[in-house]
Amino acid sequence: MLTLKNKLLKLASGSTFLEVSPNKIKNLLIPLPPLNEQIAIANILSDVDRYLYSLDALILKKESVKKALSFELLSQRKRLKGFNQAWQRVRLGDIGITISGLVGKTKQDFINGNAKYITFLNVLNNVIIDTSILENVKIYPNEKQNSFKKYDLFFNTSSETPKEVGMCAVLLDDIDQVFLNSFCFGFRIFDKAVDGLFLSYLINSEIGRKAFENLAQGSTRYNLSKSGFNNVCLFLPPLNEQIAIANILSGLDHEIISLKNKKRQFENIKKALNHDLMSAKIRVLKK
């Protein structure tokens, strides 16, 4: 298939848009297996496609279930069995402290660094920090920078839309000295009655988004002040219920991640199989 594409590109001409004339296409020679083998190859590839479609449908279903269940559990519309205590209103500034990210860094400090830092997108795109994609930064001897630890939370301070201001991610891995990009700030919980993972889910939910959207300041780019952040008030259940809810939602997240990994794996299989079958590297005969 790639060989045919390359042949067509060689035949193409044009300054703005590449075109292949009908006559050139008519005279193009391509290798074809016998009809029964063509059908066998098409059936194999269509089977893989059908499996990929089924994975897509399952991923969408799981994401829909998680979104609905997240809203039900975090809005108190649905209570888990065995939990009936009242939720308490808490102010973020009363349960933890904010910590600044990297300061005074230049482009050169991000080349061949000797330490790891959490990027802006790692905070924006995740509920839990993905430690497999940490990037490098140079930290000099005796340089004073804030480092972070397990259970710290991270927030982006600005975004192009109010709904994405103050998106949250929590660090659940025990890493020695990890730093944070300068466009985010950290939050260290000192209240033992608050679970970091639950708080991350709550803040990223519809409920949390509404609370932070009201704080977004700006016209073209929206910003979050630390004073505004500290004054955000949310309703939290007792610690054991927080942990139970967080476990349910993280369980669904793990299922979704597993399905997405499987999809990527089969997309790679399809790509390799497509190349090998179409180039006659692997021969398939219909019995």
Which distant-in-sequence residues (6+ apart) come within 8 Å of 165 by Cβ? 156, 157, 158, 159, 212, 213, 215, 216, 222, 223, 224
Q: How many residues does the chain have?
A: 287
Q: Per-residue pLDDT averaged across 103-122, rounded? A: 95
Is the sign of the CA dihedral 261, 262, 267, 272 positive or negative?
Answer: positive
In this model, does residue 1 exceed pLDDT 50? no
Residue 15 or 115, more confident: 115
Half-sphere exposure of 177 (CA within 13 A, CB side): 9
Domain with CATH 3.90.220.20 in the chain: 88-233
Domain with CATH 1.10.287.1120 in the chain: 31-83+237-287
* CATH code at 31-83+237-287: 1.10.287.1120
Residue 190 or 5, more confident: 190
Q: Per-residue pLDDT averaged across 199-212, rounded? A: 94
Q: Per-residue pLDDT averaged across 170-199, rounded? A: 96
* Inter-residue contact 113 to 140 (CB < 8 Å): no
What is the per-residue pLDDT for 213?
A: 86
What is the per-residue pLDDT for 18?
A: 76
Number of Cβ within 10 Å of residue 152's Cβ equals 23
What is the per-residue pLDDT for 122?
A: 97
Percent of the chain with pLDDT over 70: 95
pLDDT digits (tens, 9 = 90+) for 6-43: 666 777 777 677 777 777 777 777 778 899 999 999 99
Q: What is the mean pLDDT of the chain?
A: 91
* CATH code at 88-233: 3.90.220.20
pLDDT digits (tens, 9 = 90+) for 134-160: 999 999 999 999 999 999 999 999 888
* Inter-residue contact 40 to 273 (CB < 8 Å): no
pLDDT digits (tens, 9 = 90+) for 206-263: 999 999 988 888 777 888 999 999 999 999 999 999 999 999 999 999 999 999 999 9
